[in-house]
């Protein structure tokens, strides 16, 4: 008899982005590991980005419970749909209007921990029949939004016989954008108190990066398991460089705070110093990009090389990865973002194209790149080293030798393998 697992996730197809794929893929592979999977998702969500192609990946052997949700973003969207969508995507305008500032303040101080907190009560009611039949099931909540963890906390209180695993795809009170929410003292204390309740009440915490695991270990004695994100696409078997121009591609959202001036400056200098580089170079951005980023590209005279594709489906993003000469990975230059391991890095691994990463000193992604021989990492003070590495890749490209040097360490990030770790983690909490 298969063991029951109840997953509660706000993000689910047709939502786009790496946060969707994490539990979509776990739901795919858990039944193959002996689990009967039920997933609770919103019935009428207001997602910032959509990727309807992911609907085809929803497993047929799972049960979905769809619960209606009241989205404050819909009401705000009546005032300014574009501004609301940008806020949902994390694209904050540094020269924000009064309306935008007011929306951020309301979001931070009246919707604690986040704007989806109102979904808790409808979900609790909707899962009552399930829990009456499955008194000893495993409940998994995944955040952000971290209000989903409040559902897990309540269920653990109502049905102590369940085992509750809280999955943190990102940190809570130390995440980079937290300080931008204009939190008052009351709101700050409430966030910290809720975080502590969740960390102490859960039977086990799942984190996606060692940094977050270290942070939580200093805050609680609850067991912690590291399970990174991963990839489910067939790895690129072509280790030789692809045909075409010298394309440097960034796949995914590029926020204003993630504006790598040292990269733009390096590329500008290389274009001015070498006519051959200028003729061969193309900068490709696939995903939502802030206006500030686009303005910087113009300021550094790189717009003539820009191929801005906007938001693309997951399948399309994989295609662009496979055809790039190198892939760009940009993280915000703050201490808080050292812990972040972007979900796309694992699909970058599977593409087997060299990675050029820029981020804060001692970033978690640096160790991943070193372990997999997948590229080079540079902090924001290493402009000359970054320029030299790009020049090196271009030199290999001109010789037809910009090939993949990845090792077999990327195999550990296959979704099927990661689900085996999750399965053992579930077994652990029941021992």
Tens of pLDDT, residue by residue, the chain (431 residues):
789 999 999 999 999 887 899 999 999 999 999 999 999 999 999 998 888 889 999 999 999 999 999 988 666 544 444 544 444 444 455 556 656 666 665 666 667 898 899 999 999 999 999 999 999 999 999 999 999 999 999 999 999 999 999 999 999 988 766 666 667 788 789 889 999 999 999 999 999 999 899 999 999 999 999 999 999 988 887 778 999 999 999 998 898 888 999 999 999 999 999 999 999 999 999 988 999 999 999 999 999 999 999 988 888 999 999 999 999 999 999 888 888 898 899 999 999 999 999 999 989 999 999 999 999 999 999 999 999 999 999 999 999 999 887 777 888 999 999 999 999 999 999 99
pLDDT of 408: 77
Tell me, yes or no, whether 397 lies in a domain. yes
Q: Are residues 285 and 185 in the same domain?
A: no
Q: Are residues 54 and 153 in the same domain?
A: yes
Give the list of residues 6+ apart from residue 243 with CB closer than 8 angstroms, or none: none
Judge whether 290 and 256 are in contact, CB under 8 Å. yes
| CATH code of 395's domain | 3.40.50.2000
Q: Are residues 178 and 289 in the same domain?
A: no
Q: Are residues 197 and 267 in the same domain?
A: no
* Structural domain boundaries enclosing 126: 3-69+114-230+414-430
Cα angle 188, 119, 288 (rounded to 5 degrees) comes to 75
Tell me, yes or no, whether 82 lies in a domain. no
Tell me, yes or no, whether 393 lies in a domain. yes
DSSP state of 288: -
Cα gap 426→307, rounded to integer Å? 45
pLDDT of 191: 86
Burial class of residue 190 (count of CB atoms within 10 Å of its CB; 0-12, 13-18, 19+): middle
Q: Are residues 335 and 390 in the same domain?
A: yes
The number of distinct structural domains making up the chain is: 2
pLDDT of 110: 65
- Helix (H) or strand (E) holding 221, with range, is none
Q: Are residues 403 and 425 in the same domain?
A: no
Query: Would you list the DSSP string of 65-96?
Result: EEE----HHHHHHHH-HHHHHHHHHT---TT-
Cα gap 400→331, rounded to integer Å? 30
Q: Are residues 200 and 334 in the same domain?
A: no
- Helix (H) or strand (E) holding 138, with range, is strand 138-143
Q: Are residues 134 and 259 in the same domain?
A: no
- Helix (H) or strand (E) holding 229, with range, is none
Compute how many other C-beta atoms are within 10 angstroms of the C-beta atom of residue 399.
Answer: 9
Closest Cα partner for 336 from 263, 264, 257? Answer: 257
pTM of full prediction above 0.95: no
Tell me, yes or no, whether 88 lies in a domain. no
Q: Are residues 214 and 355 in the same domain?
A: no
pLDDT of 57: 93
DSSP state of 289: B
Q: Are residues 224 and 315 in the same domain?
A: no
* Terminal Cα-to-Cα distance of the chain (whole angstroms): 18
DSSP state of 223: -
Tell me, yes or no, whether 103 lies in a domain. no
Q: Are residues 129 and 211 in the same domain?
A: yes
- Helix (H) or strand (E) holding 337, with range, is none
- The radius of gyration of the chain's CA atoms, rounded to the nearest angstrom, is 22
Tell me, yes or no, whether 58 lies in a domain. yes
Tokens of 378: 């540079």
Name the one residue in this structure whose structure tokens are 């372990």: 371
Tell me, yes or no, whether 55 lies in a domain. yes
Q: Are residues 271 and 222 in the same domain?
A: no
Closest Cα partner for 322 from 238, 396, 252, 394? Answer: 238
Tell me, yes or no, whether 423 lies in a domain. yes
* Helices and strands of the chain, counted as H and E runs: 17, 13
DSSP state of 414: B
pLDDT of 379: 96
């Amino acid at each position: 008899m298969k063991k029951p697992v109840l997953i509660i996730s706000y993000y689910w197809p047709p939502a786009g982005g790496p946060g969707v794929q994490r539990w979509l893929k776990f739901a795919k592979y858990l039944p193959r590991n002996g689990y009967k999977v039920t997933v609770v998702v919103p019935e009428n969500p207001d997602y910032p980005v959509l990727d309807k192609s992911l609907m085809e990946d929803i497993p047929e052997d799972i049960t979905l419970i769809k619960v209606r949700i009241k989205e404050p973003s819909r009401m705000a969207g009546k005032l300014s749909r574009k501004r609301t969508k940008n806020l949902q995507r994390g694209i904050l305008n540094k020269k924000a209007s009064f309306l935008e500032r007011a929306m951020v303040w309301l979001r931070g101080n009246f919707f604690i921990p986040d704007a989806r907190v109102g979904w808790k009560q409808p979900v609790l009611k909707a899962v009552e029949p399930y829990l009456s039949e499955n008194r000893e099931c495993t409940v998994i909540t995944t955040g952000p939004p971290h209000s989903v963890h409040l559902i897990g906390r309540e269920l653990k209180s109502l049905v102590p016989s369940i085992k509750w695993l809280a999955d943190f795809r990102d940190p809570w009170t130390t995440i980079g954008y937290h300080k931008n929410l204009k939190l008052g003292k009351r709101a700050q204390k409430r966030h910290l108190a809720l975080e502590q309740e969740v960390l102490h009440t859960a039977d086990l915490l799942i984190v996606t990066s060692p940094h977050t695991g270290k942070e939580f270990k200093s805050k609680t004695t609850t067991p912690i398991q590291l399970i990174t994100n991963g990839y489910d696409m067939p790895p690129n078997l072509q280790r030789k460089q692809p045909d075409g121009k010298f394309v440097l591609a960034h796949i995914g959202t590029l926020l204003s705070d993630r504006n790598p001036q040292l990269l733009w400056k390096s590329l500008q200098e290389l274009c001015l110093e070498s006519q051959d580089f200028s003729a061969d170079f193309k900068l490709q951005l696939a995903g939502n990009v802030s206006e500030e980023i686009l303005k910087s590209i113009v300021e550094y005279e790189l717009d003539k090389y820009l191929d801005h594709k906007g938001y693309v489906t997951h399948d399309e993003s994989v295609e662009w990865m496979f055809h790039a000469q190198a892939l760009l990975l940009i993280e915000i230059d703050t201490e808080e973002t050292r812990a972040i391991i972007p979900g796309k890095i694992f699909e970058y691994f599977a593409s087997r194209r060299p990675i050029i990463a820029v981020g804060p000193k001692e970033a978690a992604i640096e160790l991943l790149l070193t372990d997999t021989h997948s590229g080079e990492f540079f902090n924001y003070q290493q402009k000359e080293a970054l320029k030299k590495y790009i020049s090196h890749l271009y030199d290999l490209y001109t010789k037809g030798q910009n090939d993949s040097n990845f090792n077999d360490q990327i195999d550990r990030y296959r979704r099927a393998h990661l689900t085996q770790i999750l399965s053992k983690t579930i077994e652990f909490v029941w021992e």
